[in-house]
Amino acid sequence: MESWERYTVCAFCDGGCAVKATMQDGRMRLEPADPALPAICPKTRMIDEYRLHPDRVTRPLKNVGTRGEPMWEPISWDQALDEIADRLKRVISQYGPTSVAFCETPLNHGFGGITRRLMNRIGTPNYTAPTQLCMGNTAQVHRAVYGWLAVSNWNAADVIVYFGQNRGPELWPAEFCKLKAALARGAKLIVVDPRATATTALADYHLRIRYGTDAALALGWLNVIVEEELYDRDFVASNCIGFDELRERVREYPPETVAEICGISADAIRETARVYAGAEAAIIPWGATCDMQSNSTSVLQAQCIMRAICGYLNVSETVFGPALGGASVSVLADHASLGREARDAQLGADAHPLLTFRAAELYDAANERAGIPYVPDIMAESVACVPPALFAAMRGEGPYPVKATFAVANNTVMSYAGQQGIVEGFLNQDLVVVFDHWITPTAQLADYVLPGDMWAERDALRPQYDVAPLFTACQQLVEPVGECKDWYFVVKGLADRLGFGDSFPWADRYELFDYQLAELGSSWEKACEVAPKPVMRKAVCLGSFVTPSGKVELASSVLATLGFDPLPAYIEPADPGADGGDFPYVAFAGSRDAATYNTNLHQIQSLRKTLPEPLAFVNPTDAEREGVAEGDWCVVESAYGSVQLMAHLDDAQPEGTVRIPHGWWKPEQPAGIAAGLGKAMLHNDGMLFPDEDWNLDPAQGLPNLRGGIHVRFARV
């Protein structure tokens, strides 16, 4: 019987648990790849339940019905790619190459950079990914301060600061293991979270701030650190610029002022600031809470400043910088090949430029000094368009039309704010192509749905995002179901048909992987032999800062050049629709459930039975006031839209607030616009939150979902 040992990474969520698979006597066993980090959750073992699900798309499908009311006809791959290429050519001929857009999640399909290479050959800069609301935007704020994303060194940490994270055996289990190990060593844990959670129960300090006031708290901490001279003077003098300006700014945020804003005590602010600054090796691990606020740039920048002035950079928070050796995601994308006219036409770059080509070009001189010959694209959001501007152009409300959209391993309709307008944009397209496993709400608006392989069915070369200087082989465990293909097969097929075949000379993914590894003296076969160990690139910028000044920029020259405040500040979130007082509760959206992964996994019955309905978490006092009982179906309504959710009464939920889940739809419900896209138009949080300019972080263009938008709720 077949016998083997392989290594891969589970992608049933974005926690990235490394998996060892062993085949013996015809049975496959899954376990953690690293015995010292025993982190895989039960989802990992549901490979067959997922891949063999009867609703999975396993053949290319063509919509022979109407947009939004699909009738699916199975077709061959050749017919699908031929027709898609022909229709794409017609769109480009009529509207120009910038009328083409891609919305992608590389983590879900395993090929970072290759989509951008295709787009750059087409001549369009209009790319977005959900990482605009989730680490990708964090990376660009880090870049404005350090020149690259800082990565926490858990093995060194003696103080950990969490902003809103709740980790557990099924919520980023690898990090949960690291957290437990750090606490066992005696590390202190500070958790900033309005709710009481399993993680706050582990904390030495739990700061229950008011939703959306994270930036004010961080500025209050900086006030204490600077005024009490708790910072690392030598590091600041040698490596930082802008400290005098920072000192003046943080004087505006004494603990008493911040305590009033956040709803906690000034003494708690002082004490926790001293604990952080007094550590030997503190970390502030990434968490999405700060990525979805109108003050996102400020809170992330303030965190960056704390790390820097307290001397933790390249001690417990590593800034690798762009690397050399091998064709990384950024090298493969070849962003330098996109013409000036196309770059200048990137949607949203005029108003919200921090995540666009307009900002990326401000690092060109720094990259040249560091000997970096490519355009770095950190977490797929260094050179992306701004989603609200893209969706407006799809509706015909932009500076030019977008008429062909590809949703690649990404349920675009449900992944952003302003869902109603996104649907309108998709309905206005001449061509919609979806690469996915399911007939998602986005796929229900498509002309073609192409069946992708899933993580256990593919060989892949990680990472799919440019951050750390390495490559890792992830090996296929089972054969793809039906006619499911990998994403490179699709890109190569389209490139050949569009006349760009010379830019994609690799016949298949293995030739591509060999090309990516060749400069390092490795190959796909060799990378598999050493797996799970990585093949290392050259971290030539480690210990330096690839910013315009070559220093840590406490006052960011990039933000200043783009026309924004170079220093962090707190501005109370606005909600003009709630001015009349008819919406008394503050909404917190985007919370993650252990049974799902964003909009995915609702099909899986073993998970669905643990969470059969979408829940709104409300405080019992608020529920009594509104006449709502446990399990009642409620309408939760903002001035911009409404959803229906089942009430769950929860003492941990602060009074005056409502916690809204993200990504809810019901795959078992009828498809199509008339039926509400499988109830996505009834349950998903994107229906409640606007993507209008006033609700966006000014520099980044991401929407405020976490404190500031007001709602009301009542029984259905």
Secondary structure (3-state) at 579: coil
Are 700 and 354 spatial neighbours (Cβ–Cβ below 8 Å)? Answer: yes
Q: Largest alpha-carbon pair distance within the chain? A: 72
Q: Which of 14, 34, 204, 514 is catalytic?
A: 14
**14 in catalytic set:** yes
Note whether 274 and 224 are within 8 A (CB). yes
* Assigned token pair, 234: 């030598």
Residues 6+ apart with CB under 8 A from 471: 326, 461, 462, 463, 516, 517, 520, 522, 527, 534, 535, 537
Alpha helices in 413-545 (DSSP H): 419-427, 487-498, 509-518, 524-530
CA atoms of 561 and 699, how far apart (whole Å):
11
257: tokens are 């002022």
- Reference 677, options 347, 413, 395; nearest CA is 413
End-to-end CA, the chain: 58
Q: Name the pairing type of β-strands 100-104 and 470-474.
A: unpaired
What CA–CA distance (Å, rounded) separates 288 from 271?
A: 25
Which residue from 625, 218, 660, 677 is spatially nearest to 440, judged by alpha carbons?
Answer: 677
Cα 165 from Cα 171, distance rounded (Å): 9
**163: which strand partners?**
192
For strands 431-436 and 404-408, give the pairing: parallel
DSSP summary character for residue 32? E
Burial, 53: exposed, middle or buried (Cβ in 10 Å; 0-12, 13-18, 19+)? middle
Distance (Å, whole) CA 635 – CA 644: 5
Nearest 5°: CA angle at 81, between 13 and 400?
A: 80
Backbone angles phi, psi at 517, to 5 degrees: -100, -10
The Cα 624–Cα 629 span in angstroms is 7
Alpha-carbon distance values, 274 to 207, 227, 231, 286, 375 (Å): 14, 11, 10, 21, 39
Beta strands 159-163; 188-192: pairing state: parallel
What DSSP string describes 626-667? HT--TT-EEEEE-SS-EEEEEEEE-TTSPTTEEEEESS---T
Inter-residue contact 87 to 100 (CB < 8 Å): no
* Burial label, 75 (beta-carbon count in 10 A; 0-12, 13-18, 19+): middle
User: Known catalytic residues?
Assistant: 14
